[in-house]
Structure 1
Amino acid sequence: MAQQGAVAYCALLVFVIDGHALNTFFIFEIHPWSPMPVLKRLDQLLSNLGYCSRKEARYLLKDKRVTVAGEYAKSPAQKVDAATVLVDGEPLDFPEGILVMLNKPLGYVCSHDSGEGMRIYDLLPERWEFRNPKIVSVGRLDKDTTGLILVTDDTKLVHQLTSPKHHVDKLYQVTVNSPLQPDIIEAFAKGVVLGDGAEQCLPAKVEIISENVANVTLNEGKYHQVRRMFAACGYHVEALHRSQFGPYSLHEPGQDLGQGEWQVVDFPA
């Protein structure tokens, strides 16, 4: 994303009478500065944003579906500022990059492979899947887990939010098959040992909400971690829902997304 800066101007004024300097003044001003827009070939820009292939761009131009700065585009090769381009009268979809928060329904997979069943990408505009860089999920939720999943074309952000080094908090609501005992709070706080004892989780926070429901906050992303942690404590997870991932939440005011709904959100500061 482009960053704004500032330009400083300094001037020296000297008043001279009869060859003698009387007064000297410095004038110092700071003015906002914005970088020059990056110009790209029109066909490459349209292709990267999923509107068409580079070869197909000429047909959009021929049909007068593309304008640049209010004029019909003349050549697929012309260099353009993305902010000045319209397709079918609409601005381009997020040429600076995209970050989507989606409330994943039950039964959907976080895979691009249509052979695996219903995909989260089927819930988004079709052309977004043809963007370059490709949109991907930030981590994954399994088929039987619902809730917040982020989708982006920013690979650095994916690493920032999923790398174990960054310890990004994730909040889940868990429903289990039997009444929760208070000792699970201490077990999670100490770090649950998984499986045959060869792998220990980092400490996590459990808040018991009702007899069979708890909120769990953790900052790791091991395979099926929440289900395995509860299994290690003698419970079977019947429902799992993620409501928060780092600074993003499904249930902020004005941001209460229903199942299958999504919205574009700002990149983290």
Structure 2
Amino acid sequence: MPPELQKRSPDEIKKLKPFLDAWVEKIERTEYIDDDPILFMHAFNQKEDQLLAGFFAATMAWGRRDIVIRKVRDFLNRMDNRPTDFIVNFSDRDAERFEGFKHRTFKPIDMKWLVKILQTILSQYGSFEDFWASCHKNASENERPLMSVFHEQFFAQHPEAPQRTRKHVSNADKKSSCKRLYLFLRWALRNNSPVDLGLMNFMPQSELMIPLDVHVARQARALGLLSRTYNDWWAVQELTEALRLLDPQDPAKYDYALFGLGINQDEIPEKFIKNPIVLD
């Protein structure tokens, strides 16, 4: 990555709006669902099942999408494809269902503790959305990043959960980009979308941050939307602030545009390239 990257001025960023809006329209279509882990939210009819399946799908969204889909399907099959019932009625002996499961650094012990924590959340708060709402209220009142509070409160349900499992849920206090948590919130909060479901409304979609992965960051730097060279929490803030200039009510929709450009790397017209595209 170049040591210094050029950043567009606010007026220059606004000139990208027609180009990026066209890419959002091109990518954000129902056909997108079948090849993306969000398909597991669409596979269920009950809101709680959709949210819980989506949370696992987003939490495991690490690596190639086809592999992620295969691993999430395997995990949900082990829950009899009834995530809410399985989690609510979970006992330690049910952890045998997870034996042999592996995805990246996820192991059976991690899946056991994630399920146990979600079980306590559903028992204490009544629903997953009510837990998110409590975290959002806490974060707002204390002027803290939502994902710092979410991580803290999530593991406060079971402080004995192993350290290795904690690493699978991002924490903005650790300067993580929190990509997978904001991916889940994009799926669950954005409304009037042919892809995202708009199931929760505990906060406005204007507060969503961009789910920053390496492909989105690469295109954002090429376009001059992002000057920070590390994909961390500060980069998320910088890029989201730039995208809010294009649509202050729905900045996260541009995740589709940057994703689309990422899989069509020769599609950025030369006039829009601010920095060379550097492949990792």
- The TM-score, its normalising length taken from structure 2, stands at 0.26
- The TM-score, its normalising length taken from structure 1, stands at 0.26
Decide which structure has the larger Cα Rg and report it: 1
Higher helix fraction (1 or 2): 2
